[in-house]
Structure 1
Amino acid sequence: MATTAPSGVRGGHSPVDIPPMTHRQIMEALSGLLLGMFVAILSSTVVTNALPQIIGDLGGGQSAYTWVVTATLLSMTATTPLWGKLADLFSKKLLVQISLLIYAAGSVLAGLAQSTEALIACRVIQGVGVGGLSALAQIIMAAMISPRERGRYSGYLGATFALATVGGPLLGGVITDTEWLGWRWCFLVGVPFSLIALFVLQKTLSLPVVKRPVKIDWTGAFLVSAAVSLLLIWVTFAGDRYAWLSWQTAAMIGGALAFGLAFVYVESRASEPIIPLRLFRNRTITLASLASLFVGVSMFAGTVFFSQYFQLARGESPTMSGVMTFPMIGGLFLSSTLSGQLITRTGRWKSWLVSGGALVTAGLALLGTIRYDTDYWLVALHMTVLGLGLGMVMQNLVLCVQNQVAPQDLGAASSVVTFFRSLGGAIGVSALGAILSTRITHHVETGIADLGPRGAGLGEGGTAGGGIPDLTVVPEPMRTVLEGAYGHGVADVFFYSAPFALVALVLMIFIKEVALKNHQTPDPVARKS
């Protein structure tokens, strides 16, 4: 039986009954989908512990360090709404396969890059593929599984996220520490995984394809990409290459606002908008999207900057840097799988969402107190709190939105939440990276001043111009100054992230809980692919 579309969501298509998939069929299809999702997450996490060496070998500084991460997030963010819209119009199976091929091509090129500029450009290509994988994983899962059952399977997605998040840095560390491999294999290692996922999806995934006229809003896609790009370029270089209050800031913010307003104007008149503005008449979608924006800052801050803390503040190897993040990933794995199972059993999700937001806020605030010499058991405890919170929040924000929309808007609505989360992450990594560079310089200057006469002539210990220092060749007492600066600087980043998590928590409190449906809403007239 067809269901009536919720308020603010378009209906009007004649549905057909599509037999529900069995648990075995779902798990077979999910095997390739989860492998593809694993690849998407791996692309970001596998390089985190290798970044200090990568940037050092290619001669980059802190801004290049940040942009190697941000470039992927930028293209991922800008293309996510487009992938979501394409999923409402074309074969979801074909699209996820295309995104895997784009990711593989970008990975090969990144592995061959000879400069930070070339590497950043290749990471942009990777990000286009990752944007497709991230958006389509949620969309395909929603197309296969009813909202009530989706909590259970979302737990598997959360577990995959945890595995890739913990396995990526560890794998990247081992690759970097293995002389006959080297850091280039951090990019190449994802290629065979993507090809295996491509083959598995071809064999196991069969989904309905909507049959209706296709018209892509390319103007909207360009405008949203331009707005996001200008915003990210501004927050990356503000405070470094130009002042926060400067004509460059005014020009970039003004340009981003102009592109944003033009995007809203175009979307309000497009027959097939990238982001249907009518979706935001639904309070749940609006609040969940805004909460995802602020959660994105917290999520990526917790995965990007730990490598600098453990390697540059505590002197650990890339491999051990990955091992030492286990507590955060263990918490994420536990809470995502457990909350998914219990949500399926009860149909209730809001208490998990709010509890997760509270834990993320507390975890970031606690991590804001760490220093280079803080006992590891205490750092591990703080990381566990953050991981528990992220596991409860990430998938459930998408789930509560998917429970509110009609089938023809499933792709667009799911990608909206993913888009805002990626946007928050991209802006967060860029802005926090700029803040980290400034704070490290401040703490180095303070540390040198505290040395008194011994600090005279020590300079900035290799941090001038935002460079990444090689602590193995830095003599005492400068090494201790640098370790203290990086420990305090990374802690400052976590501390500044906590208010964003608090805003997300407040937004989630106001989301109205609607019990998850026990059935899957049938799609419009469709054929199998």
Structure 2
Amino acid sequence: MTHRQVLEALSGLILGMFVSMLASTVVSSSLPVIVHDLKGDQAAFTWVVTSTLLATAIATPIWGKLADLFNRKVLFQLAIVIFVLATAGAGFSQNPEMLITFRAVQGLGAGGLAALSQVIMADILSPRERGKYMGLFGAVMAVSTVGGPLLGGVLTDTLSWRWNFYVALPVAIIALIIVQKTLHLTPQKQRKVTIDYVGIVLLAAASALLMIWVSNAGTDTTGDWWHSNDWWSFTTVWMVGGAIIAALLFVVFELRAREPLVPLAMFRNRTFTLAVVASISTGIAMFGASVFLSQYMQLARGATPTQAGLMTIPMIGGLLLSSVFIGMLISKYGHWKPYLLLGGVLLIAGSYTLSTIHYDTNFVLVSVYMFLLGAGVGMTMQNLVLVVQNTCKPEELGVASSGVTFFRTLGGTIGVSVMGAALATKVVDLMTTHLGDITAAIQGLGPEKAQYWGQQLQSGTLPEVSTMPHALRIIIEDIYAQGISHSFLIAVPFAVLSLLAILFIPNKPLTRMTNVERMQAGEADLATVSVAEGMDALSATGSIPVAGGAQAATRRSARSDES
């Protein structure tokens, strides 16, 4: 394919990914306002994010497996339709539970868009060429990640937060039309297929139980072991125990399944296993930063949603520059490992430095910290998938690609849940510690305002810090800054683990063959071997004329020796 043909084929994929990223990021700067308007607390805030990530994580390997079995173009279009309908439904939400439900359905579509775009790219492009085009995906991701919060902030400040969800609808319709007109894939070989329904149920059960436990543990102070949500309680025992049992059953059924959802044999591939480990940290950094940096800007620095979108540009700038520039270098020279190692180092640096921020930290320093984290994510996120696609079997491309994406999203889901739980616990502790200061600040406001702000803080809903009186605002900003920086510290050990995993990934050169070409080459090799064996058998039985009896006997003798 020429460069123009490739761009035409990828245009629908890029626009579909843009819709997915836009609908996901457009609410990031507005979430504090949305959750406050729907009377939600910190747990609701975390679940609005983790419900999407959890559904995306569960759906990703399912879509990847379906991609190895059915028409990939139709699957991609179906994912867009599911995503858009759920996004529109989220705009009509009347309470946190309704919003969380629609966000979960949104995640089902997002999992398909994430998994299928990687698989379809591998059908069209070789790993060596894929680097620069993955840079385009990185650029689109960066633009939507920058533009989403900005657009969401403006819509929230000028119209309503509900327009954050409606704005993606016309873009999605255009994406469907372009995919239909420009994406033409080589038909897959038809075969009888089975779907691993048991694997789907067990994977969903294990992931959901773990996420629910992490989100709620440590928030209950009843002191009743049987009904408590404490870290050590009956709830913890049955949820964690249930997750472990479901995970073990999942492994057992996957080993016996005819078409396993996640072929466990892939973990024998050292590249795949280490890439999965490294992807977990990338997911924690990527999703954790997008969620909690927005909270930091609004709850610790008193920014409006629009200002919060503008203030996160340094992180997106790092992601944009690193993904595009590094993608071009990988395609030009074929070397990938030095850039992945550098990305791992930057993940550690960005995570650690963000764990030191306070409400009054110089914003230039905060910008540098965000840039480091964004650059680390840009260098590792897409290229880990690229490395796995370069080594996996062509017929397992879908499950291999979605496997890395699945663990990255699962890592992000667990990371956001743990960071959110740590933030909520830290904020409660600090509120108790500073109760005297808060009481004094509220009493100094006068009877009417004191009653209003007292009720606001006691309700448990996320506060609108930008509207608070100065004396109270300083205390609350300091509390949330300490809580958010504490939560970023959780990402540091995972970033170190990611760097170690990248260090031991085999440095295998990138092939110049597309996935379709690799499959055709494999079929050609198989046909050549079959023909050769057939000729040998016929020659041995004398069923076909063989010139030169002595030479034929010599060849048969040589083959006998080889056998």
State the TM-score, normalized to the length of structure 1.
0.92
| AA at the equivalent of 1:198 | L
Mapped pair 1:471 → 2:493: no
2:501 to 498, 507, 510: 507
2:382 equivalent to 1:403: no
Between structures 1 and 2, the one with greater helix share: 2
Say if 2:463 is the partner of 1:484. Answer: no
The answer (yes or no) to whether the contact 2:115–2:405 under 8 Å persists in 1 is yes
How do residues 58-73 of structure 1 correspond to structure 2 at under 5 angstroms? 58-73=38-53
Q: Which has the larger radius of gyration?
A: 2
Q: Please list, as runs of the form range in 1=range in 2, the aligned pairs for 1:197-208 lying within 5 A after superposition.
A: 197-208=175-186
Distance 2:357 2:455 in 1: 22
CA deviation after TM superposition for structure 1 residue 472, in Å: 4.6
Q: 2:354 aligns with which of 359, 367, 372?
A: 367
Amino acid at match of 2:199: G
1:172-205 deviation digits (Å, cap 9, x = unpaired): 1011011xx3001111111111111111000000
The 3-state SS of whatever aligns with 1:443 is helix
1:34 aligns with 2:14: yes
- Partner residue, 1:237: 216
The residue type paired with residue 401 of structure 1 is V
> Per-residue displacement from partner, 1:23-68 (whole Å, max 9, x unpaired)?
1111011111011111112222111111111111111111111111
Contact persistence 1:92–1:140 (CA under 8 A): yes
CA deviation digits over 1:100-132, x for unaligned, max 9?
Answer: 000011011111111111111111111100000
- Counterpart amino acid of 1:479? R
Percent identical across equivalent pairs? 50
Correspondence for 1:429: 416
Contact 2:25 2:145 in 1 (8 A): yes
Partner of 1:311: 298
Q: What residue identity is the alignment partner of 2:156?
A: T
Question: 1:390 aligned to 2:368?
Answer: no
The two structures have a TM-score, normalised by structure 2, of 0.87
Q: Which amino acid aligns with 1:317?
A: T
Identify if the C-alpha distance between structure 1 residues 256 and 263 changes in structure 2 by more than 3 Å, giving closer, same or farther: same
Which residue in 2 is equivalent to 1:283? 270
Structure 1 stretch displaced more, 378-387 or 434-443: 434-443
Query: How far does residue 525 in structure 1 lie from its aligned partner after superposition?
Result: 7.2
Instruction: Work out the CA distance in 1 between the residues paired with 2:266 and 2:197.
Output: 20
1:78 counterpart residue number: 58
Amino acid at match of 1:279: M
Q: 2-side partners of 1:277 and 1:213: how far apart?
A: 21
Unmatched segments (≥5 aa) in structure 2:
221-228, 445-449, 522-563
The one-character-per-residue Cα deviations of 1:443-494 (angstroms, maximum 9, x if unpaired) are 3333345679668898978444642012255334221110111112111111
Contact residue 39 and residue 190 of structure 1 kept, 8 A: yes
Q: Is the 8 A contact 1:363 1:385 kept in 2?
A: yes
Counterpart check, 1:141 vs 2:128:
no
Does the 8 Å CA contact 1:327/1:381 hold for their aligned counterparts?
Answer: yes
2:255 aligned partner, one-letter code: S
Q: Any idea what SS the aligned residue of 1:89 has?
A: coil
Q: State how far apart, in whole Å, the 2-side matches of 1:475 and 1:353 are.
A: 47
Please report how far the alpha carbon of residue 307 of structure 1 lies from its aligned counterpart in structure 2 after TM superposition.
1.2
Tell me, in whole angstroms, the C-alpha distance in 1 between the residues paired with 2:286 and 2:455: 31
Q: 1:493 aligns with which of 480, 487, 512?
A: 487
Indicate conservation of the 8 Å contact 1:298/1:498, yes or no.
Answer: no
CA contact 2:303–2:466 (8 Å) conserved in 1 = no
- The residue that corresponds to 1:261 in the other structure is 248
Q: Which amino acid aligns with 2:494?
A: F
8 A Cα contact 1:441 1:463, kept in partner: no
Question: For 1:426 and 1:222, how far apart are their aligned partners in 2?
Answer: 18
Q: What secondary structure does 1:305 align onto?
A: helix
CA offset at residue 348 of structure 1? 1.2
> Which one of 398, 419, 425 corresponds to residue 406 of structure 2?
419
Which residue number in structure 1 is paired with residue 319 of structure 2?
Answer: 332
Match of 2:161 among 179, 183, 201: 183
Q: 1 or 2 for the larger relative contact order (CA 8 Å, sep ≥6)?
A: 1
Residue 208 of structure 1 deviates from its aligned partner by: 2.1
Match of 1:96 in 2: 76
The 3-state SS of whatever aligns with 1:403 is helix
Taking the aligned partners of 2:214 and 2:23, their CA distance within structure 1 comes to 23
Q: What is the distance in 2 between the residues matched to 1:287 and 1:358?
A: 16
Flag the 1:523–1:82 CA change in 2: closer, same or farther, 3 A: farther
Deviates further, 448-457 or 89-98: 448-457
Give distance in 2, aligned partners of 1:264 and 1:454: 56
| Pair 1:400–1:461, CA change in 2 (3 A) | farther
CA distance in 1, matches of 2:43, 2:438: 28
Where do 5+ consecutive residues of structure 1 fail to align? 1-20
Counting matched residue pairs gives 504
1:453 to 1:214, Cα distance in 2 relative to 1, 3 A: closer
